[in-house]
Structure 1
Amino acid sequence: MRKAASRSALMIALAAALPGAAHAQSDLRAAMAKCRPIADLPSRAACYDRIALEDGGPRWTGRLSFTTEAFTVDRPTLIRFDSEGVIFVMYLKDAAGEVVQNIHHAGAGEGRYLIGQPGTYTLQINGAEGWRIWLEPQS
């Protein structure tokens, strides 16, 4: 009984800490349900792979300022970001540390930028509040 009560309290705390997590989980289930009836196994696997790329969660999550480790892209890659603050500025820098693109977003919300060239990059993030960043390689 005590373990069940502790587990329930933990689940309630997690739900409160992660608003929208239940919605994201139901979206994931709905997307996976569309893949399940595909009879051809390679096609079904490709469907699940697309879900993993799209719903893999943010690569970086933080608050205020942060500089990422270097990452390499081998094809055009979309940077998606979601900012909770009134100001979000991100610098895409090349391997030499030179600014390739200044990306800014006024107000809370989502934005995106396409890295068109393969290479090694870092991101320098300056936000007023919390933020999340995803990398999505393009086909």
Structure 2
Amino acid sequence: MTNEDLIAALQGIAQKHWDTHKAPTLLSQLPKLLSTHLQADYKPILGTVSLKSFIKTSQGLGGYRLVEHPTQRAKLGIVPPGVDFEFPVTTDEKTISTLSRQDIEGFARVLGALTPDELRHVSLPATLVIKLLETK
């Protein structure tokens, strides 16, 4: 089995999945689909390179392209090259991504003004805290 075989398999899988579901083939689905499609282990071709890295470097050669969710790093897949696809972004994600440094500092000032008793009743989702910490 060669790189070209793996590229051709990825192309076939991306096209078939798109034709059937009008959605990307998620990276998490690819190992099983590749094993079924190739009827062999594809990992020796990759060597020490991850499947994602292989796809990124070979997408120009193959009939597929990598699509990544703008805020969820683990959500990525492949689509045929001519397909215009972007993962939808929820309203919450749009709001968090548009927070400015001033917004975050204002939020921190409000929290700082609360009494210790009031702070005990404040509950924030961990995802929000992470996004606030990641905002530059």
Q: Which has the larger helix fraction?
A: 2
Q: Which has the larger strand fraction?
A: 1
TM-score by length of 2: 0.22
Higher-Rg structure is 2
